[in-house]
Structure 1
Amino acid sequence: MIADAILKSLVHPKTKASVATVDSDMIRFTDGHSLPIIQARPILLSEDSLFTIEGILQNAATTQEATFIDTQGSMKNYLRKRVLPSLAKDFHIGKRYRELAQTVNAQGGRVLVIGSGDKVVYYKNLFHTCEVVCSDVHLQLGADCVIDAHEIPFPDAFFDLVFAAQVLEHTMNPWKVTQEVQRVTKIGGRIQIEVPQNYPYHGQPYDFFRFTFTGLRVLFEQCSVAKASITESNAAMVGVTLGNYMMNLSAQKYYRQGALFLSRFLFGWLKYLDRFTLHQRSVSSPKGYAFTFLKDGEVRKGAALLEEYYALKP
Protein backbone atom coordinates (compact mmCIF):
# COMPACT_ATOMS: atom_id res chain seq x y z
CA MET A 1 0.00 0.00 0.00
CA ILE A 2 1.25 3.47 -0.87
CA ALA A 3 1.98 5.81 2.03
CA ASP A 4 -0.36 8.81 2.34
CA ALA A 5 2.45 11.29 1.69
CA ILE A 6 3.36 9.58 -1.58
CA LEU A 7 -0.30 9.21 -2.55
CA LYS A 8 -0.81 12.94 -2.17
CA SER A 9 2.31 13.58 -4.27
CA LEU A 10 0.89 11.79 -7.32
CA VAL A 11 0.31 13.60 -10.58
CA HIS A 12 -2.16 12.72 -13.30
CA PRO A 13 -0.36 10.34 -15.71
CA LYS A 14 -1.16 12.39 -18.83
CA THR A 15 -1.72 16.00 -17.74
CA LYS A 16 0.69 15.93 -14.76
CA ALA A 17 -1.87 17.87 -12.69
CA SER A 18 -1.38 17.49 -8.94
CA VAL A 19 -3.73 15.78 -6.50
CA ALA A 20 -6.63 17.82 -5.15
CA THR A 21 -8.33 15.27 -2.88
CA VAL A 22 -8.04 11.59 -2.02
CA ASP A 23 -10.75 9.42 -0.50
CA SER A 24 -11.23 5.67 -0.10
CA ASP A 25 -12.18 4.99 -3.72
CA MET A 26 -11.11 7.98 -5.81
CA ILE A 27 -8.22 10.36 -6.49
CA ARG A 28 -9.25 13.73 -7.84
CA PHE A 29 -6.77 16.00 -9.58
CA THR A 30 -6.66 19.79 -9.78
CA ASP A 31 -7.56 19.80 -13.50
CA GLY A 32 -10.83 17.92 -12.92
CA HIS A 33 -9.62 14.44 -13.83
CA SER A 34 -10.22 11.56 -11.41
CA LEU A 35 -8.93 8.00 -11.16
CA PRO A 36 -10.21 5.08 -9.06
CA ILE A 37 -8.73 3.32 -6.06
CA ILE A 38 -9.48 -0.40 -6.08
CA GLN A 39 -8.66 -2.67 -3.14
CA ALA A 40 -6.78 0.29 -1.60
CA ARG A 41 -4.57 0.52 -4.68
CA PRO A 42 -4.76 3.43 -7.15
CA ILE A 43 -5.29 2.68 -10.86
CA LEU A 44 -3.22 5.39 -12.50
CA LEU A 45 -3.93 4.97 -16.21
CA SER A 46 -4.88 7.62 -18.75
CA GLU A 47 -7.09 7.06 -21.76
CA ASP A 48 -3.94 6.86 -23.92
CA SER A 49 -2.67 3.72 -22.19
CA LEU A 50 -2.65 0.30 -23.84
CA PHE A 51 -4.19 -0.96 -20.60
CA THR A 52 -7.62 0.02 -19.31
CA ILE A 53 -9.35 0.38 -15.97
CA GLU A 54 -12.00 -2.07 -17.19
CA GLY A 55 -9.29 -4.60 -18.00
CA ILE A 56 -7.81 -4.20 -14.53
CA LEU A 57 -11.20 -4.87 -12.95
CA GLN A 58 -11.62 -8.00 -15.08
CA ASN A 59 -8.07 -9.27 -14.36
CA ALA A 60 -7.38 -9.27 -18.08
CA ALA A 61 -4.30 -11.23 -19.15
CA THR A 62 -1.22 -9.08 -19.68
CA THR A 63 2.51 -9.77 -19.65
CA GLN A 64 2.52 -11.88 -16.48
CA GLU A 65 -0.51 -13.78 -15.23
CA ALA A 66 -0.91 -15.14 -11.72
CA THR A 67 -1.93 -18.53 -13.16
CA PHE A 68 1.31 -18.79 -15.16
CA ILE A 69 3.59 -18.39 -12.15
CA ASP A 70 1.49 -20.27 -9.60
CA THR A 71 3.60 -23.20 -8.39
CA GLN A 72 1.20 -24.19 -5.61
CA GLY A 73 -1.90 -25.00 -7.63
CA SER A 74 -0.25 -26.09 -10.88
CA MET A 75 1.94 -29.20 -11.15
CA LYS A 76 3.14 -28.08 -14.59
CA ASN A 77 4.33 -24.74 -13.22
CA TYR A 78 5.93 -26.46 -10.23
CA LEU A 79 7.92 -28.79 -12.47
CA ARG A 80 8.82 -26.03 -14.93
CA LYS A 81 9.97 -23.53 -12.31
CA ARG A 82 11.13 -25.63 -9.34
CA VAL A 83 12.20 -29.08 -10.56
CA LEU A 84 13.49 -29.05 -14.14
CA PRO A 85 16.95 -27.55 -14.78
CA SER A 86 16.83 -24.06 -16.24
CA LEU A 87 18.22 -23.21 -19.67
CA ALA A 88 19.74 -19.94 -18.44
CA LYS A 89 21.01 -18.65 -15.12
CA ASP A 90 22.02 -15.19 -13.96
CA PHE A 91 24.93 -16.25 -11.76
CA HIS A 92 25.55 -12.75 -10.39
CA ILE A 93 22.02 -11.54 -9.67
CA GLY A 94 22.30 -11.95 -5.90
CA LYS A 95 25.61 -10.08 -5.72
CA ARG A 96 24.35 -7.37 -8.09
CA TYR A 97 21.19 -6.71 -6.08
CA ARG A 98 22.99 -6.83 -2.73
CA GLU A 99 25.49 -4.21 -3.90
CA LEU A 100 22.73 -1.99 -5.29
CA ALA A 101 20.65 -2.37 -2.12
CA GLN A 102 23.63 -1.59 0.10
CA THR A 103 24.15 1.71 -1.70
CA VAL A 104 20.48 2.66 -1.84
CA ASN A 105 19.69 1.59 1.75
CA ALA A 106 22.59 3.66 3.06
CA GLN A 107 20.94 6.75 1.57
CA GLY A 108 17.29 5.87 2.23
CA GLY A 109 14.71 7.72 0.17
CA ARG A 110 12.18 6.46 -2.34
CA VAL A 111 12.26 3.52 -4.75
CA LEU A 112 9.92 2.89 -7.68
CA VAL A 113 9.75 -0.67 -9.00
CA ILE A 114 8.19 -0.91 -12.45
CA GLY A 115 6.80 -4.35 -13.23
CA SER A 116 7.17 -5.82 -9.75
CA GLY A 117 5.39 -9.06 -10.70
CA ASP A 118 5.34 -11.63 -7.90
CA LYS A 119 8.34 -10.04 -6.11
CA VAL A 120 6.61 -7.28 -4.17
CA VAL A 121 7.70 -8.63 -0.78
CA TYR A 122 11.20 -9.36 -2.10
CA TYR A 123 11.74 -5.78 -3.31
CA LYS A 124 10.41 -4.25 -0.11
CA ASN A 125 12.72 -6.43 1.96
CA LEU A 126 15.65 -5.71 -0.36
CA PHE A 127 15.29 -1.93 -0.05
CA HIS A 128 14.20 -2.10 3.57
CA THR A 129 15.23 1.44 4.63
CA CYS A 130 13.36 3.06 1.74
CA GLU A 131 9.79 3.91 0.84
CA VAL A 132 9.21 1.36 -1.92
CA VAL A 133 6.40 1.73 -4.46
CA CYS A 134 5.83 -1.51 -6.37
CA SER A 135 3.88 -1.01 -9.59
CA ASP A 136 2.57 -3.17 -12.40
CA VAL A 137 -0.05 -3.14 -15.17
CA HIS A 138 -2.46 -5.33 -13.16
CA LEU A 139 -3.47 -6.09 -9.58
CA GLN A 140 -3.05 -9.87 -9.74
CA LEU A 141 0.20 -10.10 -7.79
CA GLY A 142 -0.08 -7.48 -5.06
CA ALA A 143 1.46 -4.35 -6.59
CA ASP A 144 0.88 -1.09 -4.70
CA CYS A 145 -0.52 0.63 -7.77
CA VAL A 146 -1.20 0.20 -11.46
CA ILE A 147 0.78 2.46 -13.79
CA ASP A 148 1.80 2.59 -17.43
CA ALA A 149 5.53 3.32 -17.64
CA HIS A 150 4.92 5.55 -20.68
CA GLU A 151 3.15 7.99 -18.32
CA ILE A 152 4.62 7.68 -14.84
CA PRO A 153 2.23 9.40 -12.38
CA PHE A 154 4.85 10.97 -10.12
CA PRO A 155 6.45 14.43 -10.14
CA ASP A 156 9.90 15.28 -11.47
CA ALA A 157 12.95 14.14 -9.48
CA PHE A 158 10.85 12.15 -7.00
CA PHE A 159 12.74 8.83 -6.66
CA ASP A 160 16.23 7.90 -5.54
CA LEU A 161 16.05 4.64 -7.49
CA VAL A 162 13.87 3.43 -10.36
CA PHE A 163 14.09 -0.33 -10.88
CA ALA A 164 12.79 -2.15 -13.98
CA ALA A 165 13.93 -5.72 -14.67
CA GLN A 166 12.67 -7.49 -17.82
CA VAL A 167 10.14 -4.71 -18.45
CA LEU A 168 11.42 -2.43 -21.21
CA GLU A 169 10.98 -5.05 -23.94
CA HIS A 170 7.26 -5.13 -23.10
CA THR A 171 6.73 -1.40 -23.72
CA MET A 172 5.42 -0.08 -27.04
CA ASN A 173 7.65 2.99 -26.96
CA PRO A 174 10.79 2.41 -24.89
CA TRP A 175 12.15 5.83 -25.90
CA LYS A 176 9.24 7.49 -24.12
CA VAL A 177 9.52 5.14 -21.14
CA THR A 178 13.20 5.89 -20.59
CA GLN A 179 12.52 9.64 -20.77
CA GLU A 180 9.82 9.23 -18.11
CA VAL A 181 12.11 7.11 -15.94
CA GLN A 182 14.83 9.75 -16.12
CA ARG A 183 12.32 12.51 -15.41
CA VAL A 184 11.16 11.01 -12.09
CA THR A 185 14.69 10.14 -10.92
CA LYS A 186 16.58 12.63 -8.78
CA ILE A 187 19.93 14.05 -9.80
CA GLY A 188 22.37 11.65 -8.19
CA GLY A 189 19.76 8.90 -8.20
CA ARG A 190 20.10 5.47 -9.80
CA ILE A 191 18.20 3.61 -12.50
CA GLN A 192 18.47 -0.18 -12.64
CA ILE A 193 17.45 -1.59 -16.04
CA GLU A 194 17.69 -5.24 -17.10
CA VAL A 195 16.67 -6.41 -20.57
CA PRO A 196 17.13 -9.30 -23.01
CA GLN A 197 19.08 -9.11 -26.24
CA ASN A 198 18.21 -12.65 -27.35
CA TYR A 199 15.07 -14.31 -26.03
CA PRO A 200 11.98 -15.94 -27.59
CA TYR A 201 8.79 -14.00 -28.13
CA HIS A 202 6.90 -14.11 -24.83
CA GLY A 203 4.09 -12.46 -22.91
CA GLN A 204 2.38 -12.04 -26.27
CA PRO A 205 1.08 -9.79 -27.60
CA TYR A 206 2.87 -7.46 -25.18
CA ASP A 207 6.40 -8.16 -26.40
CA PHE A 208 7.92 -5.51 -28.65
CA PHE A 209 11.72 -5.01 -28.51
CA ARG A 210 15.16 -6.48 -27.89
CA PHE A 211 18.21 -4.37 -27.00
CA THR A 212 21.89 -4.53 -27.82
CA PHE A 213 24.42 -3.32 -25.28
CA THR A 214 24.83 0.08 -26.93
CA GLY A 215 21.16 0.26 -27.91
CA LEU A 216 20.15 0.18 -24.26
CA ARG A 217 22.88 2.56 -23.19
CA VAL A 218 21.92 5.35 -25.64
CA LEU A 219 18.34 5.45 -24.31
CA PHE A 220 19.60 7.03 -21.08
CA GLU A 221 21.23 10.22 -22.31
CA GLN A 222 20.95 12.03 -18.95
CA CYS A 223 22.93 9.31 -17.17
CA SER A 224 26.40 7.92 -16.81
CA VAL A 225 26.91 4.16 -16.49
CA ALA A 226 27.73 3.17 -12.93
CA LYS A 227 27.89 -0.53 -13.83
CA ALA A 228 27.09 -2.67 -16.85
CA SER A 229 27.12 -6.45 -16.96
CA ILE A 230 25.95 -9.42 -18.98
CA THR A 231 23.31 -11.28 -16.99
CA GLU A 232 23.22 -14.54 -18.98
CA SER A 233 25.81 -14.92 -21.70
CA ASN A 234 26.28 -16.67 -25.05
CA ALA A 235 26.00 -20.29 -23.87
CA ALA A 236 22.72 -19.59 -22.11
CA MET A 237 21.44 -17.96 -25.30
CA VAL A 238 22.32 -21.13 -27.26
CA GLY A 239 20.50 -23.34 -24.74
CA VAL A 240 17.38 -21.15 -24.77
CA THR A 241 17.34 -21.03 -28.57
CA LEU A 242 17.72 -24.79 -28.97
CA GLY A 243 15.05 -25.46 -26.35
CA ASN A 244 12.66 -23.05 -28.05
CA TYR A 245 13.35 -24.68 -31.42
CA MET A 246 12.51 -28.12 -30.05
CA MET A 247 9.25 -26.94 -28.51
CA ASN A 248 8.14 -25.14 -31.65
CA LEU A 249 8.50 -28.14 -33.95
CA SER A 250 4.86 -28.75 -33.14
CA ALA A 251 1.90 -26.84 -31.72
CA GLN A 252 0.48 -30.04 -30.20
CA LYS A 253 0.11 -29.65 -26.43
CA TYR A 254 1.56 -32.97 -25.29
CA TYR A 255 4.47 -32.82 -27.71
CA ARG A 256 5.38 -29.37 -26.38
CA GLN A 257 5.24 -30.56 -22.77
CA GLY A 258 7.53 -33.46 -23.63
CA ALA A 259 9.90 -31.21 -25.58
CA LEU A 260 10.05 -28.80 -22.64
CA PHE A 261 10.99 -31.64 -20.30
CA LEU A 262 13.59 -33.15 -22.65
CA SER A 263 15.19 -29.86 -23.73
CA ARG A 264 15.84 -28.82 -20.15
CA PHE A 265 17.99 -31.92 -19.62
CA LEU A 266 19.61 -31.84 -23.06
CA PHE A 267 20.64 -28.17 -22.98
CA GLY A 268 20.41 -27.05 -19.35
CA TRP A 269 24.10 -27.74 -18.76
CA LEU A 270 25.23 -25.26 -21.42
CA LYS A 271 24.68 -22.24 -19.16
CA TYR A 272 27.56 -23.28 -16.92
CA LEU A 273 30.01 -22.64 -19.78
CA ASP A 274 29.29 -18.93 -19.29
CA ARG A 275 31.28 -19.03 -16.06
CA PHE A 276 34.43 -19.56 -18.12
CA THR A 277 33.78 -17.65 -21.35
CA LEU A 278 32.51 -14.23 -20.23
CA HIS A 279 34.59 -11.39 -21.67
CA GLN A 280 34.18 -8.18 -23.65
CA ARG A 281 33.36 -9.92 -26.92
CA SER A 282 30.45 -11.68 -25.21
CA VAL A 283 28.35 -8.62 -26.07
CA SER A 284 27.88 -10.14 -29.54
CA SER A 285 25.08 -12.54 -28.58
CA PRO A 286 24.27 -12.84 -24.87
CA LYS A 287 20.81 -13.49 -23.53
CA GLY A 288 20.69 -10.15 -21.70
CA TYR A 289 22.20 -7.23 -19.81
CA ALA A 290 21.93 -5.32 -16.53
CA PHE A 291 22.76 -1.62 -16.37
CA THR A 292 22.99 0.61 -13.32
CA PHE A 293 22.71 4.20 -14.52
CA LEU A 294 23.55 7.25 -12.44
CA LYS A 295 21.50 10.32 -13.32
CA ASP A 296 23.68 13.40 -13.42
CA GLY A 297 21.44 15.56 -15.63
CA GLU A 298 24.15 16.08 -18.24
CA VAL A 299 22.58 15.47 -21.65
CA ARG A 300 24.91 13.36 -23.80
CA LYS A 301 24.83 13.18 -27.58
CA GLY A 302 26.56 11.09 -30.22
CA ALA A 303 29.89 9.55 -29.29
CA ALA A 304 29.60 10.73 -25.68
CA LEU A 305 26.90 8.07 -25.16
CA LEU A 306 29.28 5.29 -26.19
CA GLU A 307 32.26 6.03 -23.96
CA GLU A 308 31.49 3.14 -21.58
CA TYR A 309 31.03 0.54 -24.33
CA TYR A 310 33.54 -1.93 -22.88
CA ALA A 311 32.89 -1.18 -19.21
CA LEU A 312 31.74 -4.74 -18.53
CA LYS A 313 32.00 -6.15 -15.02
CA PRO A 314 30.83 -9.51 -13.66
Structure 2
Amino acid sequence: MKAISLNGYTFYFECASKFHSFLIIKGLVHSQSGAAVSIASVELKGDGIQFQKSAIRAEENGNNFAYKFELEAISLSNGYHADMGVEIAIDGVKLFISIRDITAVLQHLDKDLGQQFLQHVNEAGKIKLLDIGGRARSGVLRADDFSTVETTVIDIVSDTGVDIVVDAHNMSSKLNKDEFDACMCISVFEHLIMPWKVVLEVNKVMKTGGVFLVATHQTVGLHDMPWDYYRFSDSAWDGLFNKFTGFEIVGRAMSGLNYITPFAWSADKNFAERACGYESSTVLVRKTGDSKLQWPVIASDLVDDNYPE
Protein backbone atom coordinates (compact mmCIF):
# COMPACT_ATOMS: atom_id res chain seq x y z
CA MET A 1 0.00 0.00 0.00
CA LYS A 2 1.19 3.49 -0.85
CA ALA A 3 0.84 6.35 1.59
CA ILE A 4 -0.49 9.89 2.02
CA SER A 5 1.10 12.10 4.69
CA LEU A 6 -1.11 14.72 6.30
CA ASN A 7 -0.76 16.76 9.52
CA GLY A 8 1.73 14.37 11.11
CA TYR A 9 -0.22 11.23 10.18
CA THR A 10 0.42 8.62 7.51
CA PHE A 11 -2.57 7.11 5.70
CA TYR A 12 -2.32 3.85 3.77
CA PHE A 13 -5.18 2.82 1.49
CA GLU A 14 -6.01 -0.73 0.46
CA CYS A 15 -8.85 0.09 -1.93
CA ALA A 16 -11.29 2.75 -3.09
CA SER A 17 -13.67 0.73 -5.23
CA LYS A 18 -17.03 1.46 -6.85
CA PHE A 19 -19.44 -1.26 -7.95
CA HIS A 20 -22.74 0.06 -9.35
CA SER A 21 -24.04 2.34 -6.57
CA PHE A 22 -21.79 0.84 -3.89
CA LEU A 23 -18.47 2.40 -2.77
CA ILE A 24 -15.96 0.86 -0.38
CA ILE A 25 -12.79 2.45 0.99
CA LYS A 26 -10.34 0.60 3.23
CA GLY A 27 -7.23 1.99 4.88
CA LEU A 28 -4.97 2.37 7.87
CA VAL A 29 -3.56 5.38 9.71
CA HIS A 30 -0.79 5.88 12.23
CA SER A 31 0.99 8.83 13.81
CA GLN A 32 4.39 9.63 12.36
CA SER A 33 5.63 10.16 15.93
CA GLY A 34 4.73 6.59 16.84
CA ALA A 35 2.20 7.70 19.45
CA ALA A 36 -1.19 6.08 19.78
CA VAL A 37 -3.97 7.72 17.79
CA SER A 38 -7.66 8.06 18.52
CA ILE A 39 -10.20 7.99 15.68
CA ALA A 40 -13.70 9.19 16.53
CA SER A 41 -15.29 8.75 13.08
CA VAL A 42 -14.72 8.05 9.40
CA GLU A 43 -17.26 9.54 7.00
CA LEU A 44 -17.70 9.99 3.26
CA LYS A 45 -18.39 13.63 2.42
CA GLY A 46 -20.29 14.68 -0.69
CA ASP A 47 -23.74 15.08 -2.19
CA GLY A 48 -26.11 12.26 -3.12
CA ILE A 49 -25.15 9.68 -0.47
CA GLN A 50 -28.18 7.68 0.69
CA PHE A 51 -26.45 5.40 3.20
CA GLN A 52 -23.04 4.82 4.73
CA LYS A 53 -21.45 2.92 7.57
CA SER A 54 -17.90 2.63 8.91
CA ALA A 55 -15.86 0.28 11.06
CA ILE A 56 -12.73 1.23 13.01
CA ARG A 57 -10.31 -1.19 14.63
CA ALA A 58 -7.18 -0.46 16.68
CA GLU A 59 -4.01 -2.41 15.94
CA GLU A 60 -0.77 -2.66 17.87
CA ASN A 61 2.40 -4.05 16.36
CA GLY A 62 5.27 -3.79 18.80
CA ASN A 63 5.71 -0.11 19.55
CA ASN A 64 3.66 0.98 16.54
CA PHE A 65 0.02 1.96 17.03
CA ALA A 66 -2.40 2.18 14.12
CA TYR A 67 -6.09 2.14 13.27
CA LYS A 68 -7.67 0.25 10.42
CA PHE A 69 -10.83 1.70 8.98
CA GLU A 70 -13.43 0.59 6.47
CA LEU A 71 -16.10 2.78 4.92
CA GLU A 72 -19.08 1.61 2.86
CA ALA A 73 -21.52 3.92 1.11
CA ILE A 74 -24.45 3.75 -1.28
CA SER A 75 -25.46 6.46 -3.74
CA LEU A 76 -28.62 5.42 -5.59
CA SER A 77 -28.04 8.19 -8.11
CA ASN A 78 -24.50 6.92 -8.84
CA GLY A 79 -23.36 10.40 -7.94
CA TYR A 80 -19.79 9.68 -6.89
CA HIS A 81 -17.10 12.03 -8.15
CA ALA A 82 -13.39 12.53 -7.55
CA ASP A 83 -13.81 15.64 -5.36
CA MET A 84 -15.76 13.66 -2.79
CA GLY A 85 -13.65 12.28 -0.01
CA VAL A 86 -13.15 10.79 3.41
CA GLU A 87 -13.31 12.95 6.53
CA ILE A 88 -11.47 11.35 9.44
CA ALA A 89 -11.89 12.76 12.95
CA ILE A 90 -8.55 11.91 14.56
CA ASP A 91 -7.18 13.17 17.87
CA GLY A 92 -9.77 15.95 17.90
CA VAL A 93 -8.96 17.18 14.37
CA LYS A 94 -10.98 16.55 11.20
CA LEU A 95 -8.84 15.69 8.17
CA PHE A 96 -10.17 15.41 4.60
CA ILE A 97 -8.68 13.27 1.82
CA SER A 98 -10.33 13.36 -1.61
CA ILE A 99 -11.17 10.24 -3.62
CA ARG A 100 -8.93 11.68 -6.35
CA ASP A 101 -5.91 11.64 -4.01
CA ILE A 102 -6.76 8.20 -2.66
CA THR A 103 -7.03 6.61 -6.10
CA ALA A 104 -3.82 8.33 -7.23
CA VAL A 105 -1.78 6.45 -4.61
CA LEU A 106 -3.61 3.19 -5.26
CA GLN A 107 -2.91 2.91 -8.96
CA HIS A 108 0.66 1.58 -8.71
CA LEU A 109 1.34 3.24 -12.02
CA ASP A 110 3.79 1.68 -14.45
CA LYS A 111 4.72 5.14 -15.72
CA ASP A 112 8.35 4.49 -14.84
CA LEU A 113 8.78 2.23 -17.87
CA GLY A 114 6.96 4.66 -20.14
CA GLN A 115 8.96 7.60 -18.85
CA GLN A 116 12.16 5.60 -19.20
CA PHE A 117 11.30 4.88 -22.83
CA LEU A 118 10.20 8.48 -23.51
CA GLN A 119 13.38 9.90 -22.00
CA HIS A 120 15.59 7.42 -23.86
CA VAL A 121 14.01 8.24 -27.21
CA ASN A 122 13.91 12.02 -26.78
CA GLU A 123 17.52 12.15 -25.58
CA ALA A 124 18.85 9.85 -28.29
CA GLY A 125 18.99 12.56 -30.93
CA LYS A 126 17.77 12.15 -34.49
CA ILE A 127 16.67 8.53 -34.43
CA LYS A 128 13.81 6.69 -36.10
CA LEU A 129 10.84 5.56 -34.02
CA LEU A 130 8.15 3.10 -35.12
CA ASP A 131 4.66 3.32 -33.59
CA ILE A 132 2.67 0.13 -34.22
CA GLY A 133 -1.09 0.67 -34.30
CA GLY A 134 -0.57 4.31 -33.44
CA ARG A 135 -3.57 5.97 -35.07
CA ALA A 136 -5.50 8.43 -32.90
CA ARG A 137 -8.27 5.95 -32.10
CA SER A 138 -8.98 7.54 -28.68
CA GLY A 139 -8.19 11.05 -29.87
CA VAL A 140 -4.56 10.68 -28.81
CA LEU A 141 -1.69 10.57 -31.28
CA ARG A 142 1.14 9.31 -29.10
CA ALA A 143 3.71 10.06 -31.76
CA ASP A 144 3.28 13.74 -30.82
CA ASP A 145 5.10 13.03 -27.54
CA PHE A 146 8.31 12.48 -29.49
CA SER A 147 9.12 15.84 -31.03
CA THR A 148 12.85 15.27 -31.48
CA VAL A 149 12.73 12.08 -33.53
CA GLU A 150 11.52 10.88 -36.91
CA THR A 151 8.36 8.87 -36.21
CA THR A 152 6.62 6.42 -38.52
CA VAL A 153 3.09 5.36 -37.57
CA ILE A 154 1.73 2.14 -39.01
CA ASP A 155 -1.81 0.82 -38.64
CA ILE A 156 -4.10 -1.70 -40.25
CA VAL A 157 -6.49 1.09 -41.32
CA SER A 158 -5.93 4.53 -42.79
CA ASP A 159 -6.55 7.36 -40.33
CA THR A 160 -5.20 10.69 -39.10
CA GLY A 161 -1.51 10.41 -38.33
CA VAL A 162 -1.00 7.04 -40.04
CA ASP A 163 1.99 7.01 -42.40
CA ILE A 164 1.81 3.44 -43.69
CA VAL A 165 -1.19 1.12 -43.82
CA VAL A 166 0.02 -2.42 -43.14
CA ASP A 167 -0.87 -5.38 -40.96
CA ALA A 168 1.64 -5.56 -38.07
CA HIS A 169 1.93 -9.32 -38.70
CA ASN A 170 3.54 -8.47 -42.04
CA MET A 171 5.14 -5.07 -41.41
CA SER A 172 8.50 -6.12 -42.85
CA SER A 173 6.84 -6.24 -46.28
CA LYS A 174 6.70 -2.43 -46.24
CA LEU A 175 9.50 -1.51 -43.83
CA ASN A 176 13.24 -1.94 -44.24
CA LYS A 177 15.38 -4.35 -42.25
CA ASP A 178 17.11 -2.75 -39.23
CA GLU A 179 15.39 0.55 -40.06
CA PHE A 180 14.28 1.72 -36.61
CA ASP A 181 16.14 2.64 -33.43
CA ALA A 182 13.07 2.28 -31.19
CA CYS A 183 9.53 0.95 -31.34
CA MET A 184 6.36 1.24 -29.28
CA CYS A 185 2.99 -0.51 -29.33
CA ILE A 186 0.23 0.77 -27.03
CA SER A 187 -3.07 -1.06 -26.42
CA VAL A 188 -2.60 -3.24 -29.50
CA PHE A 189 -1.09 -6.58 -28.44
CA GLU A 190 -4.42 -7.89 -27.13
CA HIS A 191 -5.84 -7.40 -30.65
CA LEU A 192 -3.11 -9.37 -32.46
CA ILE A 193 -4.11 -12.87 -33.52
CA MET A 194 -0.42 -13.88 -33.49
CA PRO A 195 1.58 -11.55 -31.19
CA TRP A 196 4.61 -13.85 -31.42
CA LYS A 197 4.76 -13.23 -35.18
CA VAL A 198 4.63 -9.47 -34.59
CA VAL A 199 7.56 -9.82 -32.18
CA LEU A 200 9.55 -11.51 -34.95
CA GLU A 201 8.52 -8.77 -37.37
CA VAL A 202 9.76 -6.09 -34.96
CA ASN A 203 13.02 -8.01 -34.67
CA LYS A 204 13.40 -7.66 -38.43
CA VAL A 205 12.76 -3.93 -38.73
CA MET A 206 14.49 -2.71 -35.52
CA LYS A 207 18.22 -2.28 -35.10
CA THR A 208 20.19 -4.37 -32.63
CA GLY A 209 20.33 -2.43 -29.37
CA GLY A 210 17.00 -0.75 -30.09
CA VAL A 211 14.32 -0.62 -27.40
CA PHE A 212 10.69 -1.69 -27.71
CA LEU A 213 7.87 -0.63 -25.36
CA VAL A 214 4.66 -2.69 -25.24
CA ALA A 215 1.66 -1.67 -23.12
CA THR A 216 -1.43 -3.86 -23.09
CA HIS A 217 -3.83 -5.45 -20.58
CA GLN A 218 -3.81 -8.22 -18.00
CA THR A 219 -7.43 -7.90 -16.84
CA VAL A 220 -9.96 -5.75 -18.65
CA GLY A 221 -13.37 -6.28 -20.20
CA LEU A 222 -13.70 -7.60 -23.73
CA HIS A 223 -13.70 -4.81 -26.30
CA ASP A 224 -13.59 -4.35 -30.07
CA MET A 225 -14.99 -7.83 -30.48
CA PRO A 226 -14.32 -10.18 -32.14
CA TRP A 227 -10.78 -8.80 -32.47
CA ASP A 228 -9.90 -9.18 -28.78
CA TYR A 229 -7.68 -12.23 -28.38
CA TYR A 230 -5.28 -12.14 -25.43
CA ARG A 231 -4.38 -10.87 -21.95
CA PHE A 232 -0.79 -10.68 -20.64
CA SER A 233 0.54 -11.03 -17.10
CA ASP A 234 4.00 -9.69 -16.28
CA SER A 235 5.37 -13.24 -16.44
CA ALA A 236 3.92 -13.87 -19.91
CA TRP A 237 6.55 -11.69 -21.57
CA ASP A 238 9.28 -14.32 -21.17
CA GLY A 239 7.49 -16.42 -23.76
CA LEU A 240 7.60 -13.62 -26.32
CA PHE A 241 10.84 -11.78 -25.60
CA ASN A 242 13.83 -14.09 -25.14
CA LYS A 243 17.11 -15.15 -26.71
CA PHE A 244 15.26 -17.11 -29.39
CA THR A 245 13.19 -14.14 -30.55
CA GLY A 246 16.25 -11.88 -30.24
CA PHE A 247 15.32 -9.76 -27.21
CA GLU A 248 16.12 -9.21 -23.56
CA ILE A 249 13.66 -7.80 -21.02
CA VAL A 250 14.72 -4.50 -19.44
CA GLY A 251 11.70 -4.08 -17.16
CA ARG A 252 8.09 -5.11 -16.67
CA ALA A 253 5.18 -3.80 -14.58
CA MET A 254 1.45 -4.16 -14.01
CA SER A 255 -0.87 -1.42 -12.75
CA GLY A 256 -4.51 -0.57 -12.13
CA LEU A 257 -5.77 -3.18 -9.65
CA ASN A 258 -9.15 -4.67 -10.57
CA TYR A 259 -11.54 -6.87 -8.64
CA ILE A 260 -12.71 -9.98 -10.48
CA THR A 261 -16.34 -10.60 -9.51
CA PRO A 262 -18.80 -12.98 -11.24
CA PHE A 263 -22.14 -11.67 -12.49
CA ALA A 264 -23.93 -14.63 -10.87
CA TRP A 265 -23.06 -15.40 -7.26
CA SER A 266 -22.33 -18.99 -6.27
CA ALA A 267 -21.00 -20.54 -3.08
CA ASP A 268 -17.71 -21.56 -4.62
CA LYS A 269 -17.13 -17.90 -5.64
CA ASN A 270 -18.05 -16.50 -2.24
CA PHE A 271 -14.71 -14.71 -1.87
CA ALA A 272 -13.96 -14.04 -5.53
CA GLU A 273 -13.29 -10.37 -4.77
CA ARG A 274 -10.18 -11.37 -2.82
CA ALA A 275 -8.48 -12.14 -6.13
CA CYS A 276 -7.27 -9.27 -8.26
CA GLY A 277 -6.15 -8.47 -11.75
CA TYR A 278 -4.39 -5.51 -13.35
CA GLU A 279 -5.77 -3.31 -16.09
CA SER A 280 -2.34 -2.59 -17.56
CA SER A 281 0.65 -4.81 -18.31
CA THR A 282 3.78 -3.16 -19.71
CA VAL A 283 7.17 -4.45 -20.80
CA LEU A 284 10.32 -2.71 -22.04
CA VAL A 285 12.72 -4.83 -24.07
CA ARG A 286 15.96 -4.44 -26.02
CA LYS A 287 16.89 -6.23 -29.25
CA THR A 288 20.00 -8.35 -28.72
CA GLY A 289 20.35 -9.74 -32.22
CA ASP A 290 18.56 -11.17 -35.25
CA SER A 291 16.19 -14.03 -34.61
CA LYS A 292 16.40 -17.20 -36.67
CA LEU A 293 12.81 -18.15 -35.93
CA GLN A 294 10.18 -18.14 -38.66
CA TRP A 295 6.39 -18.26 -38.45
CA PRO A 296 5.18 -18.61 -42.05
CA VAL A 297 1.50 -18.09 -41.29
CA ILE A 298 -0.49 -15.18 -42.70
CA ALA A 299 -3.01 -13.52 -40.39
CA SER A 300 -5.62 -13.33 -43.14
CA ASP A 301 -5.52 -17.14 -43.37
CA LEU A 302 -6.77 -17.27 -39.77
CA VAL A 303 -9.27 -14.41 -39.68
CA ASP A 304 -11.23 -13.30 -42.72
CA ASP A 305 -12.51 -9.94 -41.52
CA ASN A 306 -11.06 -6.50 -41.00
CA TYR A 307 -10.26 -4.78 -37.72
CA PRO A 308 -13.03 -2.31 -36.79
CA GLU A 309 -12.62 1.30 -37.69
Which TM-score applies when normalising by structure 1?
0.49
Q: Which has the higher contact order (CA 8 A, sep 6+)?
A: 1
Q: Which has the larger radius of gyration?
A: 2
Q: Which has the higher helix share?
A: 1
Q: Which has the higher strand share?
A: 2
